[in-house]
């Protein structure tokens, strides 16, 4: 975020916008997930995150730094916070219903390890894009990674995946 020319207070406010979006998602998800399947919520959120990242890349090209860009930036980070949390928060429910009680610790550990491996790859990649190329490239790189993840989930996660699985 510092690569966008923000001072420390601007960085803090931008990260606060992401956090506010994340908290908003977490507080509203229980009522949403009572009416809509986890798959629909998570895939929609992944799509929104992909579009928001691509829009942030476009905004960084099209808009000159200033107050209008600042408002777009804050709004984008708010939307990304909502979408990110809506994408990852229901995963615990998926894991819980996908394994028996005795298998859950191993499944949660595997998911934790896999998510952290993905972060280990994505964070340095995007950081280097931002530092060596531009923030436009960083946002574009994140949008590309998000798109790959969203398409993979859409193709690999069966649309008729049951909401509950019997465990013997």
DSSP state string for 36-71 = S-HHHHHHHHHHHHHHHHHHHHHHHHHS-SSHHHHH
Is the overall model pTM greater than 0.75, yes or no?
yes
Structure tokens at 148: 């790959």
Q: Is the pLDDT of residue 157 over 70?
A: yes
Q: What is the pLDDT of residue 64?
A: 76
Assign residue 165 a region: left if phi > 0, alpha if psi is -120 to 50, beta otherwise?
beta
**Separation of alpha carbons 56 and 146, rounded Å:** 13
- Tens digit of each residue's pLDDT (9 = 90 or more) over 38-95: 999 999 999 999 999 999 999 988 987 777 888 888 999 999 999 999 999 999 998 9
pLDDT digits (tens, 9 = 90+) for 98-144: 888 999 999 999 999 999 999 999 999 999 999 999 989 999 999 99
């Amino acid at each position: 975020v510092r690569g966008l020319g923000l001072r420390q207070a601007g960085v803090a406010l931008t990260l606060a916008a992401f956090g506010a979006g994340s908290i908003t998602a977490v507080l509203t998800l229980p009522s949403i997930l009572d009416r809509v399947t986890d798959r629909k919520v998570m895939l929609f959120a992944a799509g929104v995150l992909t579009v928001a990242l691509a829009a942030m890349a476009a905004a960084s090209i099209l808009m000159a730094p200033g107050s209008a860009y600042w408002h777009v930036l804050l709004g984008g980070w708010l939307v990304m916070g909502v979408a990110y949390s809506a994408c990852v928060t229901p995963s615990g429910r998926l894991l819980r219903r996908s394994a028996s009680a005795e298998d859950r610790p191993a499944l949660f550990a595997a998911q934790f390890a896999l998510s952290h491996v993905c972060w280990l790859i994505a964070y340095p990649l995007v950081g280097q894009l931002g530092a060596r190329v531009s923030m436009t490239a960083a946002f574009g790189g994140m949008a590309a990674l998000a798109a790959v993840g969203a398409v993979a989930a859409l193709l690999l996660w069966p649309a008729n995946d049951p909401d509950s699985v019997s465990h013997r």
